[in-house]
Structure 1
Amino acid sequence: MIKTKAKAAIQVVSAENLPEDTILLGESYVKYWKIPRGQHVQLKFGAFRRNVKVIPVARLNAMRISQALAESMGLPSRLQLRIHYKTAAAVLALGPLIGVLVSRDYPRTPEKPFGSITMFCREVVEACKAQGAFVYFFTPKHIGGNTDIVRSWIYTDDGWKESEMPAPDIVNNRLTTRKLENSEAVQRFLKETKFHHATIAFNEKFLDKSEVFEALKKDAKLTRYLPESYLLRSYSTLRAMCGKHNTVFLKPIRGSLGKGIVRISRLDGESYQAQYATSAGTKKVTYSNMTKLYASVSSKMKSVRYQIQQGLQLIEIGGRPVDFRALVQKNASGKWMITSIVARTAGSQHFVSNLARGGTLSTVSAAVTKSNLSSGISRLETSNKLRSAALQIAKGIDEHIPAHFGELGIDLALDKSGRVWLLEVNSKPSKNDNTPLNEGKIRPSVRLMIQYARFLSGF
């Protein structure tokens, strides 16, 4: 029985045995889709298009194409791809063709062309192979004037190699800096491939903290998760927030990995203590009054914009604050689902929980059990509340921020009474900081990414 988007072996044969404009296809496929025999149909692979004649072959569960055709499509000699015939347009589509846009490559070390994320890229290759998709990896510098073709890296039986590939059906944007993402080449590529080839990009932009909180404030269902939070623009905002809350946090609106966070606590009288997150640990400075505190903060505001946020009494383990990272992804039917939630406990010299700052991972259940969460609140109830909040926040991002996301890292906290709070949302979740603790060869997060790409592209 042929499925409507079946996976088929693509066999490459020498040119003397098969003309470039002819493909051989198993008879069962031809009958199932009622593909016209001996007439031209359009073969599609990403941006690649070619008119070909389809010849049915009995007892063949594959597609055979010539070496020359395979080379023009950028295909290696042996692979399996999903195949789908669109009757109305007479298009025989192979794919999906996925392009993963990464920040940099290292051509001088072809065995490890993407540095520390090379193993993640191999994992994506294996997940695509299992699902009948094809993936390549490219950087902004690979984008040329002709956006029909992309210079890129593919993985073959002989390892990584550079190749020219058609523009993809789907782009997964994994750029790690706003500078690269906003570059003229990247923006032009995304715009032109969308217009000319109906390419769909997901995780297409970074999120600023202020943008997230302003958007979610509009949703009555989500306000209960939002600590009081404003873009810090003036002395009066700092004074009002410090007057209202014993502790406030200043967070760079474009920060990541806990960099640049300042925790401000009111001491006796007029004085305040500021704790600065540094890679070596926490640096503490005391200011005798609000004016001196603001003078210090405002000198930093010349180069960094801060979100000021109500301090929360987070649950702790041995005096170290705990928060939670939920990885939320869209699945094979385009619906948000929880891939994983892990607890992160801050390192001994830090008040932020990021692994880059010495934090440690554990399961939600283990962290809640060891924490100072009020007794009488069950681990199951806590886990369910975190899951529900993460899903609602992901849906809120979709609804209130005009951009396309397929996965989000959502940082949540619990206070001692068991209330869930949103800390921040990351549209480029790291592949190290958010993963389940017991991993197989291909992570569920990678499998889901390919399933969502198939959903978007109709495969």
Structure 2
Amino acid sequence: MLKSKVAVQVISPGILPDDAIMLGDAYVRQWKIPQGQPILLKFGAFRHYVKVVPVERFDGMRIGQSLARAMGLLTTTTLRLRYRQDNATLALGPLIGVLISRDNPEQQDRPFGNITLFCKELVDACAAQGAHVYFFTPDHIKGNYNSLEGWVYADGWRKIIVPVPDVVNNRLTSRKLENRPNVQLFVKETMLRHNSIIFNEKFLDKAEVFEALSKDPSLGRYLPESHVLRSSQVLKSMCQKYHTVFLKPVRGSLGKGIIRISRMDANSYSAQYATTLGTRKQHFGGIDKLYASLAGKMKTVRYQIQQGLHLIDIMGRPVDFRALVQKNEKGIWALTSIVARTAGSHHFVSNLARGGTLSTVREAVSKSNLSHANGHDAPAKLQRAALEIAKGIDTHIPAHFGELGIDLAMDASGRVWLLEVNSKPSKNDNTPMPDQKIRPSVRNMIRYARHLAEF
């Protein structure tokens, strides 16, 4: 059986004309590739007619230097091949573009700041799987929807002109960048002209997620009561119903701006604000005074008010769980990892940026105040919840996602609750990497891109 993953060798100028490629004769025979007449060579949005020259006892491909440069290939690389007889097209790929927020050409060793190691890990994962990846920012999108400027790795990072890719992984970390007209037009035009596929194509906000999932009766058991805070009446109703409520910025992340409100007695409330240094407290003599203190913030920030939960804790420090779910090589949601996060001292949010610590689910549950009877099947319950929620996002939100960070919690009875869903899980360089190996999450991203591009 022929390998679909082959070495594509870039050879010296003058040996091959631009309209010819060399290919192992076994491929030519088995795929019935016509000789002496042009076929279409495809690589992402790149299209070029070539004649195929068969080579005996050779199982790769050779292309000339100028043709390679037009394809955005600088050196010999490993790619997958696919030939379709019905339209005489030989496709190489998949070509993957990763859309990132910013670059710094002056920092040649770290042009992408704290995600540079992640980007290099993607390059290595692509080399192992027979794919090709480059990185680009909104500033590289100039209105040409066939090619753009992108960063590739070939004995160091460098910028070259590359074809528009088969698959785009949107790693933008700012809604402002994502909503730029040139980005939105690029997404629309590349899908239309080249059938490019974009995944993780947009940010999710908390209100959107909870409203969408609430339409699914099977997911209701995971959803704490939540509303967009639009009036003092909503605040009053929730504070009367629950001893503790949380206000969360609809578009917040990393635990920024979260406020915990607790009812002290009939007409007295305590508000705790999450800050980088710890928790700041304030007391209010009545719901109207509390609401008045929030009114200024609400002019610029939309809040979601959420039922307070009695989460499990370790020595008074709340514990929650971050699940990473990704679509696999068959396009099906699968759990890649799940970790427990324990809040730092003097914090009520568990984010690592706030001094939280990581551990395994079993370790955290065993140290927590959750009874063995309620906690023995915690890993299985959390995994089931993460996968059901991911499927619910797919079903009820009209956007394409390939990976999601799902924050879950567990109360003292062992019930699982959804805290939030993040469509841009962090890829910073502080993520642990065992012995510089390629993490499963990176391999899975390439596998899903191959599935999308049908390689």
The answer to whether TM tops 0.5 is yes
Q: Who is 1:387 aligned against?
A: 383
Q: Which one-letter code corresponds to 1:81 in the other structure? A: L
**What SS class does the counterpart of residue 221 from structure 1 fall into?**
helix
Q: Given the alignment, which residue of 185, 204, 207 partners 1:207?
A: 204
Q: Who is 1:99 aligned against?
A: 97
Q: Who is 2:453 aligned against?
A: 457
Q: Which one-letter code corresponds to 2:419 in the other structure? A: L
Q: Given the alignment, which residue of 102, 112, 132 partners 2:110?
A: 112
Q: Which one-letter code corresponds to 1:345 in the other structure? A: T
**What SS class does the counterpart of residue 372 from structure 2 fall into?**
coil
Distance, in Å, in 1 between the alignment partners of 2:55 and 2:289 is 82
Q: Who is 1:430 aligned against?
A: 426
Shift of the 325–439 alpha-carbon distance from structure 1 to 2, 3 Å rule, reads farther
Q: What does 1:347-426 align with in structure 2 at a 5 Å threshold?
A: 347-379=344-376, 381-426=377-422
Q: Is contact 2:8–2:77 with CA below 8 Å preserved after alignment?
A: yes
Q: Which one-letter code corresponds to 1:128 in the other structure? A: C
1:377 positional shift: 2.5
Distance, in Å, in 2 between the alignment partners of 1:437 and 1:197 is 35
Structure 2 unaligned segments of length 5 or more: list them: none
**What SS class does the counterpart of residue 218 from structure 2 fall into?**
coil
Q: Is contact 2:9–2:63 with CA below 8 Å preserved after alignment?
A: yes
Distance, in Å, in 2 between the alignment partners of 1:439 and 1:273 is 47
Q: Which one-letter code corresponds to 2:277 in the other structure? A: A
Q: Who is 1:22 aligned against?
A: 20
1:434 positional shift: 11
Q: Who is 1:125 aligned against?
A: 123
Q: Which one-letter code corresponds to 1:383 in the other structure? A: P
Q: Who is 1:67 aligned against?
A: 65
Q: Given the alignment, which residue of 18, 38, 41 partners 1:43?
A: 41
- Alignment deviations for residues 294-350 of structure 1 (CA, whole Å, 9 cap, x no partner): 001122110100000000000000100000000000000000000000000001011
Q: What does 1:235-246 align with in structure 2 at a 5 Å threshold?
A: 235-246=232-243
Distance, in Å, in 2 between the alignment partners of 1:214 and 1:224 is 14
**What SS class does the counterpart of residue 374 from structure 2 fall into?**
coil
Distance, in Å, in 2 between the alignment partners of 1:152 and 1:373 is 50
Q: Is contact 1:247–1:265 with CA below 8 Å preserved after alignment?
A: yes
Distance, in Å, in 2 between the alignment partners of 1:359 and 1:192 is 42
Q: Given the alignment, which residue of 163, 166, 169 partners 1:166?
A: 163
Establish whether residue 183 from structure 1 lines up as the match of residue 180 from structure 2: yes
Q: Which one-letter code corresponds to 1:155 in the other structure? A: Y
- Alignment deviations for residues 407-428 of structure 1 (CA, whole Å, 9 cap, x no partner): 0000000001000000000000
Q: Who is 1:2 aligned against?
A: 2
1:214 positional shift: 0.3
Distance, in Å, in 1 between the alignment partners of 2:266 and 2:428 is 44
Q: Is contact 2:404–2:423 with CA below 8 Å preserved after alignment?
A: yes
Q: Who is 2:280 aligned against?
A: 283
Root-mean-square deviation (CA), in Å? 1.3
TM-score between the two structures when normalised by the length of structure 1: 0.97
Q: Is contact 1:330–1:448 with CA below 8 Å preserved after alignment?
A: yes
1:378 positional shift: 4.1
- Alignment deviations for residues 245-268 of structure 1 (CA, whole Å, 9 cap, x no partner): 000000000000000000000002
Q: Is contact 2:116–2:429 with CA below 8 Å preserved after alignment?
A: no
- Alignment deviations for residues 347-380 of structure 1 (CA, whole Å, 9 cap, x no partner): 101100000111000000100000001232343x
Distance, in Å, in 2 between the alignment partners of 1:31 and 1:417 is 65
Q: Is contact 2:375–2:414 with CA below 8 Å preserved after alignment?
A: no
1:269 positional shift: 2.8
After the TM superposition, which of the residue ranges 120-129 and 140-149 deviates more from structure 2? 140-149
**What SS class does the counterpart of residue 373 from structure 2 fall into?**
coil
Distance, in Å, in 1 between the alignment partners of 2:368 and 2:73 is 53
Shift of the 339–439 alpha-carbon distance from structure 1 to 2, 3 Å rule, reads farther
Q: Which one-letter code corresponds to 2:301 in the other structure? A: V
TM-score between the two structures when normalised by the length of structure 2: 0.98
Q: Is contact 2:95–2:167 with CA below 8 Å preserved after alignment?
A: yes
How many residue pairs get matched? Answer: 455
Distance, in Å, in 1 between the alignment partners of 2:420 and 2:69 is 46
Structure 1 unaligned segments of length 5 or more: list them: none
**What SS class does the counterpart of residue 449 from structure 1 fall into?**
helix
